[in-house]
Amino acid sequence: MIIDFHTHVFSPRIRQNRDEYCSNDSCFGLLYSQSNAKLSAIEELISSMDECEIDKSVLLNIGWLKHELCVESNDYILECIARYPNRLVGFCAVQPLDMDKAIREIERCCKSGIKGIGELRPDVQGFNLCDARIQPLMDMAINNNLILSLHASEPVGHGYQGKGNTTPQNLYPFIAMFPKLHVVLAHWGGGLPFYELMPEVASILLNTYYDTAATPFLYKQQVFTSVANITSSEKIIFGSDWPLISPQRIISQINTVELTDIDKENIYHRNAENLLGLEQK
């Protein structure tokens, strides 16, 4: 079984009006202003899942700046998970700077089965992860057993459109503020798992997980064994960042390194099942 924890889809209206949305939202524009940046529909994702033998996918949203665009895109994700309840899990987007509306939107989405919040981008959305004013949002996530997905980036290395500056230096103090919050950091947490060699850091990051989205663009395949040895395979979550990259490319990386069968099961599905509260097979 394989669960892809990091995928993105967009409604027909957004796909057909790319330029309008790029003009109206700087996060969307940052990610999708280039014509070769893929905007895909749910039907395309399901087809890709069948081709790559992916059992379930998590639909992540993006870090929209405007509350209204969060709601609009959340509606499409809710529609998708209602249409394919056995194949999809949904996360919702919110703008923490509009806290009262964000809280009400999470309440609305929870009623329709949303399992998490994200993929938020603090640097683009303009909020400070360590600002005490975000506490109501984090408390709500903890109280409702919601997972927080954050885009994460490395302070060095490969540059790319939308990389941003949500680096380990910014992520670690935030996680320390909310140790009970279950956090999944995209793109291997921008290198944060390597700091778990420090015992005091590892103790803070007990509820922090790292997804493998876009690994071939960022790391050698040895990152899988390195992180598993430093932390545990129980903290690695399979994610592709589809449609940016095919899940098969990351599966191929995993197949080239020495991981135990238990490690592979943890990465491919068991960790995600535990976090999402899904029945294990």
Contact status, residue 117 vs residue 158, Cβ threshold 8 Å: no
Give 53-103 pLDDT, tens digit per residue.
999 999 999 999 999 999 999 999 999 999 999 999 999 999 999 999 999
Report the pLDDT value the prediction gives residue 157, as an integer from 0 to 100. 87
- For 27-58, how does the pLDDT look when each residue is reduced to its tens digit (9 = 90+)? 999 999 998 999 999 999 999 999 999 999 99
Residues in a beta bridge with 108: none
Question: How many H helices and E strands in the chain?
Answer: 15, 8
Condensed to tens digits (0 to 9), the pLDDT of residues 223-234 reads: 999 999 999 999
User: Residue 81: what pLDDT?
Assistant: 98
Spatial contact of 58 and 89, defined as CB atoms under 8 Å apart: yes
Nearest CA among 135, 138, 126, 219 for reference residue 164:
126
CA 79 to CA 112: how far, in whole Å? 9
Q: What percent of the chain has pLDDT over 90?
A: 95
Query: For 205-262, what is each residue's pLDDT tens digit?
Result: 999 999 999 999 999 999 999 999 999 999 999 999 999 999 999 999 999 999 999 9
Q: Within 10 Å of residue 92's Cβ, how many Cβ atoms?
A: 27
Domains and CATH numbers, the chain: 3-11+41-276 (3.20.20.140)
Q: State the pLDDT confidence band at 280, using cuts at 50, 70 and 90.
A: low
C-alpha 133/C-alpha 193 separation (Å) is 27
pTM (predicted TM-score): 0.96
Instruction: Take residue 74 and report the two structure tokens written for it.
Output: 């959340």
